Amino acid sequence: MGLERIHGRLRMDLAAFSPWMANEKIKLLLYRDRDSYAKGELSPPPWSNGIAFYEQKLLALYEQKPPQRLLQITAHETTHLLFESYWGEAHKRPPSWLNEGLAMNEETDSGAARDSDWYRMMLDYSGQFPPLERFMKVTPTQDLADSPSDDVALWYCQAYSVVYFLARKHGRLQFQTFVAHLREGDDVAKALWESYGYLDLGKFEADWRQFLGPGSAKKGKKKGLVTGGERFGHIDGLPPLR
């Protein structure tokens, strides 16, 4: 029942990117534990909690406790599958910040977002977010592979925040139009103008930081993020954070 609720919610949120999900099934392989998952025929990264293959419409996961944890990971990986299929039609990959931010937003229903770990972290650490122009150039699997876990977690938190503002504080059609312009090859500034009416990235960043609160405009004293290996273990392309 939990999986069906996730499918129904994602169909509502992401059907514009993957209309095929109305008629085609997604195959889910659920392993009994991490060891059997890591040694399975798909050879996933042994530190990961799940992996998605959009061309095969396939997810691979393993049993998690509590069950809600498994459902969050399922929603996250299914979002990757659906969203990457849209970009794959154009033989492209989505920007890392957009791909990860959307998947983290879809871990929970929009109505429960304020109770999520990501939402609380977004508000607690917004003063540490770097300028968007620099942030959007980062590919974490390449640029943060050897970085401290706090830096990695902060990047993911910022990705969640930017996509939350784009997708949940504005209209769904605006977000879909924004993504379509990016897939067509427009840069972020042009896509923002065509979909949201922002004159440039700076205007968008000012509104985004105003949404986060007054403390986000100035980088505050850096404090450690409460990450925990299990909380971030499913982050794609990176080992669990310690």
Q: For residue 241, give every residue at least 6 positions away whose Cβ sits within 8 Å of its Cβ, in sequence order, or none.
A: 149, 152, 153, 227, 228, 229, 231, 232, 233, 235
DSSP 113-151: GGGSHHHHHHHHSGGGPPPHHHHTT--HHHHSTTS-HHH
Q: What value does the CA radius of gyration of the chain take, rounded to a whole number of Å?
A: 17
Domain locations along the chain? 1-93, 94-242
Beta pairing class for 50-53 and 58-62: antiparallel
Would you state the structure tokens that stand for residue 216, as one six-digit string?
Answer: 């986000």
pLDDT at 224: 54
Q: What is the dihedral of CA 134, 132, 234, 150, to 10 degrees?
A: 70
pLDDT at 83: 97
Query: The whole model's pTM is what?
Result: 0.88
Residue ranges in the chain modelled with pLDDT below 70: 215-242
Would you state the structure tokens that stand for residue 69, as one six-digit string?
Answer: 């944890």
Would you state the structure tokens that stand for residue 83, as one six-digit string?
Answer: 């969203």
Fold classified for 1-93: Glutaredoxin (3.40.30)
**Integer Cα distance of 129 and 126 in angstroms:** 5
